[in-house]
């Protein structure tokens, strides 16, 4: 998925990596592992920040594109 610029693509790839990195801990947290739940919450905060970065990058690309 090409979102129009290298910065946007890199930000999106970072977001995907963060989500994928949480998969094991999500499964463990679902099983009742409290430490895994803490790690999931931390990663989800990072996901939120990464998503905001992607959003800003997309808006920047959009504003630079002539209509």
* pLDDT over threshold 90, residue 64: no
Mean pLDDT score of the chain:
91
Whether 59 and 31 have beta carbons less than 8 Å apart is answered as no
Q: What digits encode the pLDDT tens for the residues 2-30? A: 445 688 899 999 999 999 999 999 999 99
* pLDDT over threshold 70, residue 48: yes
Q: Where are the domains of the chain?
A: 6-64
For position 34, what pLDDT does the model report? 97
Whether 58 and 7 have beta carbons less than 8 Å apart is answered as no
Q: What is the pTM of this model?
A: 0.81
For position 2, what pLDDT does the model report? 46
For position 17, what pLDDT does the model report? 97
């Amino acid at each position: 998925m090409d979102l129009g610029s290298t910065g946007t693509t890199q930000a999106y790839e970072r977001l995907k990596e963060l989500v994928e990195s949480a998969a094991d801990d999500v499964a463990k947290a679902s099983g009742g592992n409290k430490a895994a739940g803490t790690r999931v919450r931390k990663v989800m905060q990072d996901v939120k920040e990464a998503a905001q970065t992607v959003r800003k990058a997309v808006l920047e690309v959009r504003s630079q594109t002539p209509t």
